[in-house]
Chain A
Amino acid sequence: MGSLSLKNIRKSFGNVEVIKGIDLDVKDGELVIFVGPSGCGKSTLLRIIAGLETESTGSIEIDGDPVNGQSPSMRGISMVFQTYALYPHLTVKDNMSLGLKQAKRPKELIEKRVGFASSMLSLDDYLDRRPAELSGGQRQRVAIGRAIVRQPKLFLFDEPLSNLDAALRVNTRLEIASLHRQLSATMVYVTHDQTEAMTLADRIVVLNNGVIEQVGTPMELYNEPKNKFVAGFIGSPQMNFIPASCLKIDDAETIGIRPENILIDGAKADLTGKVSHIEKLGSDTNIYADCADAGLICIRLFGQHDTEVGSDISLHFDRDKMFKFDKNSDTIN
């Protein structure tokens, strides 16, 4: 359907540069997810791709055609917004068909596409309702339906699930995954949510402060983070960072170890500390230990464990699973 190629995209608001040179290629049919801390420019980048914001420099190609300067409706894209953004005065059906009507497409075609989208999203019973008469989940499905009906080359999603409650979020996530499979459409998706990114993405783009830190499949990012930022951003609970001097390792500045790679072992203790907090999740237990120089360290144990807050604890780190970072926070291989 459509590929996307960004070359050296920059964007400034006044004197503040928000996007600082982004190069990215999204292949046909790929689902790429942008993650990054709040304010790093994810939405801005997505709006630039959509044509809702003009880039300061750089070029954008959709399906091989340069689209710089084209209006949003000419770019062959659809966008789903966090706030649904349905037209309040139109029925579900009219909401979905407005774009095609505006493009003067034949009536039968519009009917067919709306029918297809509404049955795919189980919206058949709601076609004559107004957005105000729908629940949040239904509204977001209508917004997704509106995107499908246009049959775009590229789908853009800006945090589409963050206004939904937890259960609905899982359902809608599955729905988007199956949509991606059925339509084999190219999608660019922005989210805050780790789980969403890890479960949905073909590739994840980690953004920080307007630059790309790393691009890769979820497992690449988890197993081979390029630097401390990516290592800390992917994975939950977050990776522990310990000054290398605490572990008497001298070829690195900082050591990173994921909570699931720490063992509690009195015989081979790398560090000792006191338990300061325990989180019991049923399937796992997260233990937070206060270790003098190394600070607060999170240990994730599989299954259920009873440990007293305040008791002493000895930690052993799996050497093979350690990450080493240099002074510039880059990973040392």
Chain B
Amino acid sequence: MTNIVETYNLTKIYNKTIRAVDDISIEIQEGEIFGLLGPNGAGKTTTIHMLATITRPTSGSARVGGYDVLREPRKVRAITGYSAQEAGVDEYSSGREYLTLFGHYYHLDNRTIRSRVDELLELLELTDAADRLVATYSGGMRKRLEIGTALMHRPQLLVVDEPTLGLDIQTRVRIWDYIRALNKDGMSILLTTHYLEETDKLCDRVAIVDHGRVVALGTPDELKGEIHGDVVSLTLPVEEPDQHAQTIEKVRQLLSAQPFVKDVQPTAEALNIYVDQGGVAVPQILRLLEASGLTVGEIALARPSLDDVFLKYTGRKIREEKGKAVGARAAWIRRPR
């Protein structure tokens, strides 16, 4: 099996201080759906930009389809389709014109362009809006059009930054279906996401990135398998808001000291307690708390999810990081990357 993407100590430092991507070495196999999962500012977009030859690495290197991104960028561009995080669409043209323009920029002939455009408009359910100005498109339509531009030349590698960011659940499911269908036809796919569900449903392998580094890598099941046992999630009722943090800390120390507890991680709204056997642990936890005169809000038992994997490696819960909405946005507010 050959690799469609290989990075060697890939690093990007902005303004001499910000290590956006810090020494990432990964291999993505041909035919794989590979996910980069991480919170805001983890360096996902920067990584993708370096692979799509938009941004130059500060050090290290990367190959796409065997071509070096710095030495043979035009070859890389010809086999790569790049779809941006925030829908990059031209408000002054129609959807059809925009797709056609990309067909020309990929140097396809007119006949191919015409049939691809029709095919993609159909696939992305934009046929009815094809000749309307993009300015009248909704956020979801823009995102679909954006993905379309990356598919005009049937790339070997599709690079999608946050394919479903800010979309409603139906659209999201539909985009997952497209991505799966493209992958079935042999396209390798690299995507970034905030959504654990997306990685779980879609990706063959996932790299969890945090502060520009890969902190865990494997199939979703492998990653979940690294967390043995069960997770007990415990909330405490807020009685004295001032004292709440102290109470939580007290409970954390109390539980951490127990032999049956492997780890305790506080999150924004609960304490996650990692144990071998949830069924045995829950009554023990309840007894302990009662003995210390503490009341329990809610207690729940769960199998480990990617959420927990994420928490384990980054100390944060990914859902606390809110996704940014696509579509309508005030002009000039966004700092372009």
Say if A and B assemble together: no
Interface residues of A (CB under 8 A from B): none
Interface residues of B (CB under 8 A from A): none
